[in-house]
Amino acid sequence: MSRRISGFKPTGHLQLGNYVGAIRPVVRGQHEQPTVVFIADLHALTVQHDPALVQARSREVAGLLLAAGVDPGQALLYRQSDVSAHLELHYLLECVASYGEAHRMIQFKEKGGGGGSRLSLLTYPVLMAADILLHDIEEVPVGRDQRQHVELTRDLAERFNERYGPTFTVPRAVHPAVAARIADLADPTRKMGKTNTSTAGVLFLLDPPEVLRRKVMRAVTDTGTEVVYDPQEHPGVANLLDILGALSDRDPADVAGDFRGTGYGRLKSAVADAVIATLEPIQRRYQELGDDDVEQVLADGAERAARHADVTVHRARIALGLTGGRRA
Ligand code: TYM
């Protein structure tokens, strides 16, 4: 039974890509596999941020994870900044990571990493490695956008173990079979993301049904009319089929077969229906959750997470020669 971890950055409202790429795999796997889920609020400080918003969004993310079915009796759910071991291991891992490695990360470049950006944006993947290694994780279910970060985590774990003796479990990335990357509906060459500049093509989990439907119906397709699954030639249509396939647990190419001889309009209606049917019950449960309930879950989770994480940090400290320090 492999241990798994998922992290969610509270930099914006959660969107459908987060749901199919990460939340649903957690919810489905939590009864079979030990699962760690956390709100990556320290990661939200790597770009310009509003403190009040980070706090509010952290709570929103926690509430949505609970509403979507994360069960705190099964999974360990907590807020990253409540467990200081993340920060300590981050620094220890910086001492085995190189500048060149961090600099090569695609996301650093994509987020405009340069001379004026925060140093924490450059070291972001090292903090992510700390998140994963703290918990002796074997599998990291992520969308394809995060694959490179998990590869770096493997490299750092292997290097540390080689240099200083066996200390960390070496994890691997796993991707959902379908829809590892949901694209923006208004620009299918881009990933659907919570911080995309235009929100016209982003389906937020808390968007009202009529907004969801409008966004889907306005999705960019192309001038063709035939519904075929061809991500290269028809990325917009393929993205809609990916979404419908993911939400109905079917292969997107098979789903395309259902729409043979019909236009894009029917496909879009079917996608809108499926998205709304998936999100409405989550939205209902989210409205029912009280702030205090969410905070209590996070506080309990942090306590449990710290117990495990402190043991890992202690192991790393000893391996690195910091033996005079505190005991876990
Ligand atoms: P974040 O907050 O950007 O995204 C959270 C999860 O959602 C997945 N995801 C998607 N999957 C498919 N299609 C999309 N359009 C899409 N958009 C997002 C992401 O792959 C991710 O699994 N760096 C991470 C947070 C993090 C983390 C970690 C994750 C910090 N430490 C340790 C796992 C393990 C991030 O920015 O996720």
Q: Residues 118, 217: one domain?
A: no
Please state the residue numbers annotated as binding site for L-tryptophan: 131
DSSP string, 171-208: PEEE--SS-SSPBPSS-TTSBP-TT-S--TT--BTTS-
- Say yes or no: CB of residue 145 within 6 Å of ligand 1: yes
- Out of 19, 145, 192, 196, mutate this one to test ligand 1's pocket (max ligand atoms within 8 Å of CB): namely 145
User: Under a CB-based contact definition with an 8 Å cutoff, are residues 126 and 104 in contact?
Assistant: no
Closest ligand 1 atom to Cα of 18: 7
Q: What are the pLDDT digits (tens) for 229-282? A: 999 999 999 999 999 999 999 999 999 999 988 989 999 999 999 999 999 999
Residue 246 maps to a domain = yes
Kindly state the average pLDDT of the residues 160-186: 89
- Say yes or no: CB of residue 13 within 6 Å of ligand 1: no
Active-site residues: which are they? 111, 191, 194
CA–CA distance, 129 with 125 (Å, rounded to integer):
6
Residue 96 maps to a domain = yes
pLDDT band of residue 31 (cuts 50, 70, 90) is very high
The predicted structure's pLDDT at residue 263: 87
Q: Which residue has the tokens 């450059």?
A: 122
Q: What are the pLDDT digits (tens) for 273-317? A: 999 999 999 999 999 998 899 999 999 999 999 999 999 999 999
The alpha carbon of residue 218 and the mean position of all alpha carbons in its chain are separated, in whole angstroms, by: 26
Give me the amino acid identity at 36.
V
The helix (run of H) or strand (run of E) holding residue 149 is helix 147-164
Kindly state the average pLDDT of the residues 136-141: 93
Residue 187 maps to a domain = no
143 has pLDDT over 80: no
pLDDT band of residue 202 (cuts 50, 70, 90) is very high
327 has pLDDT over 60: no
Residue 186 maps to a domain = no
Can you give the residue range of the structural domain that contains 279?
Answer: 209-286
**What's the total number of domains in the chain?**
2
The predicted structure's pLDDT at residue 112: 77
**Is the Cα torsion angle 141, 146, 151, 153 positive or negative in sign?**
negative
The predicted structure's pLDDT at residue 8: 96
Determine which of 36-50, 109-123, 191-205, 242-256 has the lowest per-residue pLDDT on average. Answer: 109-123
* Gap from CA of 147 to ligand 1 centroid (Å): 10
pTM of this structure: 0.94
Round the CA-based radius of gyration of the chain to a whole number and report it.
21
Mean of per-residue pLDDT scores for the chain: 93
Percent of the chain predicted with pLDDT > 90: 83
Q: Residues 9, 138: one domain?
A: yes
Closest ligand 1 atom to Cα of 10: 2
The predicted structure's pLDDT at residue 264: 94
The CB density around residue 36, as the number of other CB atoms within 10 Å, is: 26
Residue 191 maps to a domain = no
- Residue 219's CATH number: 1.10.240.10
Q: Residues 149, 127: one domain?
A: yes
Q: What is the three-class DSSP state of 85?
A: helix
Q: Which residue has the higher pLDDT, 211 or 323?
A: 211
The predicted structure's pLDDT at residue 180: 66
The predicted structure's pLDDT at residue 145: 79
